[in-house]
Chains A and B, each alone.
Chain A
């Protein structure tokens, strides 16, 4: 069955999988940072949505490079809300994250009406100059940038003092503090870095992948990134592999056509794959020890 092989691992599918891999990997790297610092960030999806909007808006006003940077800034600012709520006010991490996701349903709609004159989409925006890869076709410069960022994230987290301090804040904050680590600052840093990555991931989708903002275009990728985080066992390398798997299932929704499966189900493939991954791997992985727990600096034990 050469046709089905082409639909599963043909060059067009691989190229599409790489394009879908980028936002998932970026968001998952962000998730690695916030979770390793000890904060759960269910709001990644919302931060990505803000990224899609601000990316398109920035690209429209100041060009694509500025769009990506503005989206990163917007993601960081939304993450700051999450950090203030969870680190400083010690609100339940999931409650705060859910609140941010709800905010991301409404605020972009309002902003769109103000900035674009209609609620659900932006005009087409200018993209970065894409480059051509043999067999795979046009690629956004954000693709290699993502790989560079992935290597950088791995290095920072595993080979620097900053990374060690961040990881210790998520494993054993009490012990970390006794060794002079400023746990609160580390957790702020983890969440803000996460917001920046999520913002960039969102902007990649609107500016580079589609070329305009559409309401709902993020399609729950932030939650798939959370599943990739679990599947990747909270490591950058694992995140890359998991994102590749989910990126590939997303590509299949475009290319896979099987006569006895209705297309509606093929469209649901990334979500079903996420459920399967959760079911198979949730028990076998090891999250950071203190993730999700409130921490009060200097409090008596």
Chain B
């Protein structure tokens, strides 16, 4: 990957630079405001719809305030709330990045769901079969997970490039085929046949301890948090943050990222500009699958220690929402992942402390997704109108 060459910035007069600097700052603040406007509107609308649903279903304001207080107290202020939020956000970030890589290239990877399931399975098998020192084994199982996700993205990628088959349908079909494959493997060839206990689960052999990914709680507690030791957050959270930063760098600062964006924004201009579109499409889809393969690792290597048949988490579908909310930027995806993770935490709080069905947060998530796409479109149009007006004024 070669870093793009950028021309040296022009050197303006000192006075002009100062003026430009001031305008630039105001302009930057305004642009940031515009960017945050859509998510803010979407959050407010979803909170209002959530409140309305609670009022319609429960017909009481008391329930509404109980929900609000448990969303606040249990969701955020509880001792281990943030550990839960970080841990839950980990797969969301990986899956969101996978979707975003596809989006950047103009591809809809709806197959993240199947890709991370296969990735988790491959990682679990490798972790159980291979025994090596942790420093070797952990990178190995992580790579195994990525390889599994990549393999599952390969068929839709090839179908897209060589047969023109629309990836939305083919990746969804691959999700169902993944279910079939998991059913076959976990109830037959890969099933752990030496389980102790009354009911044998349909799951793989447990991985070696050296393949396990450690808890991040001691680290957080050493920097001033006070999480319970059993809180579900692993070092994969750090890897997720690093991945998001790496993604942002690659998309914005490298030749590969540039070609990805050209392919996504103007595919017809890509070929004349010397971008081999087929090869780029293939690479984007495979990279997306490989990153998707990371999303299932925390459950398998951090928590359970094996892959089981009833492993269906719907990270892949949430990830689409997260990529949309985050506008396919690294920072945006982390923020979106934390938001949806928080809503899951708040949902448990609602279930524990109130009479309202905790699934009310699912409705809120749905509303966020629908309103955010409309809100972004409206903000984009408003910005375009403003630019047009300014251009007229200057002329």
B181 at the interface (CB under 8 A from A): yes
Shortest Cβ distance from B320 into A: residue = A98
Collect the chain A residues with CB atoms within 8 Å of residue B179's CB: 268
Q: Is the CB of A220 within 8 A of B184?
A: no
**Which of B119-127, B168-176, B239-247 has 4 or more CB atoms under 8 Å from chain A?**
B168-176
Q: Is the CB of B165 within 8 A of A278?
A: yes
State A89–B174 Cα separation when bound (angstroms): 32
Q: Is the CB of B169 within 8 A of A262?
A: no
B200 at the interface (CB under 8 A from A): no
B41 at the interface (CB under 8 A from A): no
Q: How many residues on chain B are close to A (CB under 8 Å)? A: 45
A271 at the interface (CB under 8 A from B): yes
State A282–B177 Cα separation when bound (angstroms): 20
- Contact bitstring B352-395, A, C-beta under 8 A = 1, else 0: 00000101101101100110011001100000000000000000
Return the contact of B365 from the options A96, A102, A220, A279 (Cβ within 8 A): A102
The distance from the CB of A186 to the nearest CB of chain B, in whole angstroms, is: 21
A151 at the interface (CB under 8 A from B): no
- Contact bitstring A68-108, B, C-beta under 8 A = 1, else 0: 00000000000001000100011110111011111101110
From B155, B172, B184, B317, name the one whose CB has the most chain A CB atoms within 10 angstroms: B172
State A101–B324 Cα separation when bound (angstroms): 14
Q: Which of B142-183 touch A at CB < 8 Å?
A: 155, 159, 163-166, 168-170, 172-177, 179-181, 183
Q: Is the CB of A220 within 8 A of B374?
A: no
A13 at the interface (CB under 8 A from B): no
B57 at the interface (CB under 8 A from A): yes
- Contact bitstring A104-115, B, C-beta under 8 A = 1, else 0: 011101100110
A260 at the interface (CB under 8 A from B): no
Instruction: Say whether, besides A98-B110, A223-B173, A227-B169, A264 and B366 are in contact (CB < 8 Å).
Output: no
Collect the chain B residues with CB atoms within 8 Å of residue A109's CB: 359, 362
Q: Is the CB of B184 within 8 A of A262?
A: yes
Q: Is the CB of A282 within 8 A of B165?
A: yes
A274 at the interface (CB under 8 A from B): yes
Q: Is the CB of A267 within 8 A of B183?
A: yes
The distance from the CB of B50 to the nearest CB of chain A, in whole angstroms, is: 10
State A143–B105 Cα separation when bound (angstroms): 43
- Contact bitstring B270-281, A, C-beta under 8 A = 1, else 0: 000000000000
B108 at the interface (CB under 8 A from A): yes
A236 at the interface (CB under 8 A from B): no
Shortest Cβ distance from B370 into A: residue = A99
The distance from the CB of B42 to the nearest CB of chain A, in whole angstroms, is: 11
Q: Is the CB of A102 within 8 A of B321?
A: yes
Q: Is the CB of A113 within 8 A of B359?
A: yes
State A219–B176 Cα separation when bound (angstroms): 9
B61 at the interface (CB under 8 A from A): no
State A92–B164 Cα separation when bound (angstroms): 20
State A82–B373 Cα separation when bound (angstroms): 11
Shortest Cβ distance from A275 into B: residue = B173
Shortest Cβ distance from B53 into A: residue = A110
Collect the chain B residues with CB atoms within 8 Å of residue A100's CB: 370
State A134–B40 Cα separation when bound (angstroms): 62
From A219, A226, A264, name the one whose CB has the most chain B CB atoms within 10 angstroms: A264
Q: Is the CB of A95 within 8 A of B169?
A: no
Collect the chain B residues with CB atoms within 8 Å of residue A227's CB: 169, 173
Instruction: Say whether, besides A91-B374, A95-B324, A279-B163, A107 and B177 are in contact (CB < 8 Å).
Output: no
Q: Is the CB of A119 within 8 A of B359?
A: yes
Instruction: Say whether, besides A98-B108, A279-B163, A283-B163, A264 and B359 are in contact (CB < 8 Å).
Output: no
The distance from the CB of B380 to the nearest CB of chain A, in whole angstroms, is: 10
State A279–B162 Cα separation when bound (angstroms): 9
B219 at the interface (CB under 8 A from A): no
A205 at the interface (CB under 8 A from B): no
State A219–B165 Cα separation when bound (angstroms): 21
Collect the chain A residues with CB atoms within 8 Å of residue B110's CB: 98
The distance from the CB of A285 to the nearest CB of chain B, in whole angstroms, is: 10
Q: Is the CB of B180 within 8 A of A278?
A: no
B314 at the interface (CB under 8 A from A): yes
Return the contact of A101 from the options B164, B181, B317 (Cβ within 8 A): B317
State A18–B56 Cα separation when bound (angstroms): 41
Q: Is the CB of B163 within 8 A of A89?
A: no
Q: Is the CB of B317 within 8 A of A110?
A: no
Return the contact of A102 from the options B57, B183, B320, B359 (Cβ within 8 A): B320
State A271–B111 Cα separation when bound (angstroms): 13
A272 at the interface (CB under 8 A from B): yes
Collect the chain B residues with CB atoms within 8 Å of residue A113's CB: 357, 359
Q: Which of B248-298 touch A at CB < 8 Å?
A: none
Q: Is the CB of A283 within 8 A of B164?
A: yes
Collect the chain B residues with CB atoms within 8 Å of residue A166's CB: none
Instruction: Say whether, besides A275-B155, A279-B159, A99 and B173 are in contact (CB < 8 Å).
Output: no
Give 18 new A-B contacts, CB below 8 A, not counting A271-B176, A275-B174: A89-B377, A89-B378, A95-B324, A96-B370, A99-B366, A99-B373, A100-B370, A103-B369, A103-B370, A105-B314, A107-B362, A114-B57, A220-B172, A271-B174, A275-B155, A278-B163, A279-B165, A283-B163
List 22 contacting pairs A-B, 8 Å CB cutoff, sorted by A: A81-B370, A89-B377, A89-B378, A91-B377, A95-B324, A99-B366, A99-B370, A103-B370, A106-B359, A113-B359, A223-B168, A226-B169, A262-B188, A268-B176, A268-B179, A268-B180, A275-B155, A275-B170, A278-B159, A278-B170, A282-B164, A283-B163
